[in-house]
Amino acid sequence: MEANPASAVESLRRGIEEGANHIDTAEMYAEGAVEEIVGRALHGLREKVFVVSKVQPFNADHRGVIFSCEQSLKRLNVEILDVYLLHWRGKKAPLEETFRAFERLKSDGKIRHWGVSNFGLKDMEEAVQLVGDGVIACNQVVYHLEKRIIEPEILPFCRKHKVPVVAYSPLGEGRIPKSPILDSVAQSHGATPAQVCLAFLTRDPAVFAIPKASDLRHVRENVRSMRLSLAEDEIRRIDATFPIRKKS
C-alpha cells in the first residue's frame, strides 16, 4: 500500500499522460485499497489505459470469480477490465471451473480477456489443454536478470502456444542488480541500468514487462525504456553476466 495515496494518484495520472498505458493491480493488494487508488487515477483517462486485475485462488470457484470481478470493477470505477487473471494456482476449484467463470464474465461484457499468473510448466500444460492455443491472454510471472528460470521451458512453451509472458518484478525483487556491464551498456545508449534491464527482458517479442513505478521519475524512466533496442553483442554480454540458473 502506498504511504501517500494522493501522491500515488498524481504519479499514475501524469504517467498515463506521458505514455504509460498498462496498469496492473489485484484484489489482494491492500485488500482492494490499491484498486481504489487506481480507480481515482483513471478518472477521465480510462480509454488511454489497459487495465489488468486479478482474483485470488481462494475466490476462484465460479461464484467467487464473478463476485470478485464485480467488486474490482466497483473499486476501479470502470465498466470492463481489459484482462482478468487468476493470481496463482490454488485448490479452491479446478481450472476448468475458473475458466468457465472467466468466459461468463467475457460474454457478460465485464472483461475483454483473461489469463493466469505464476503458472509453472505443468500448470500451463493443463491450462492450454483445456482451452487450446491463443485463448489465454498471458501468463504473468516473476522474471528479471537474476531470476531467468522461465527461459528454458515456460517461455518457449508459452511462445509455442501463443500465450504472451508478462514479467513482474523485472528490475529485481527489491533492487536493481549492480554490474559494470549494465553501466557500460547504459552509458553507450544514454540510458540507465534499469532501462537496459527492461530492454534485455523484452528482447523477445513474446515478453512484456510491468515494472513498479513509485513516483513520476520511475514512470518516465520505464516509458523511455520501451524505445531502447540492444545490439546483439550487448545482449550476449548481459547474458554471460547473468546466466540462467536452475534455482535462482
Instruction: For the chain, list residues with pLDDT below 50.
Output: 248
Q: Quick one: pLDDT at residue 172?
A: 92
Please indicate, yes or no, if residue 39 is contained in any of the structural domains.
Answer: yes
Edge-first strand listing for the sheet containing 22-24: 22-24, 50-55, 81-86, 111-117, 139-142, 165-168, 207-210
Q: Quick one: pLDDT at residue 1?
A: 52
Half-sphere exposure of 159 (CA within 13 A, CB side): 12
Please indicate, yes or no, if residue 220 is contained in any of the structural domains.
Answer: no
Please indicate, yes or no, if residue 101 is contained in any of the structural domains.
Answer: yes
* pTM, 2 dp: 0.93
Structural domain including 154 reads 5-178
Contact partners, residue 96, CB within 8 Å, separation at least 6: 130
Q: Quick one: pLDDT at residue 248?
A: 45
Please indicate, yes or no, if residue 185 is contained in any of the structural domains.
Answer: no
Query: Which of 20, 55, 59, 49 minimizes the C-alpha distance to 223?
Result: 20
**Number of domains comprising the chain:** 1
Please indicate, yes or no, if residue 95 is contained in any of the structural domains.
Answer: yes
* CA–CA separation, 91 and 57 (whole Å): 7
Please indicate, yes or no, if residue 27 is contained in any of the structural domains.
Answer: yes
Which helix (H) or strand (E) is 132 found in, with range? none
3-state secondary structure of 200: helix
Please indicate, yes or no, if residue 184 is contained in any of the structural domains.
Answer: no
CATH code of 134's domain? 3.20.20.100
Q: Quick one: pLDDT at residue 31?
A: 95
Cell matching residue 187: 552509458
Please indicate, yes or no, if residue 198 is contained in any of the structural domains.
Answer: no
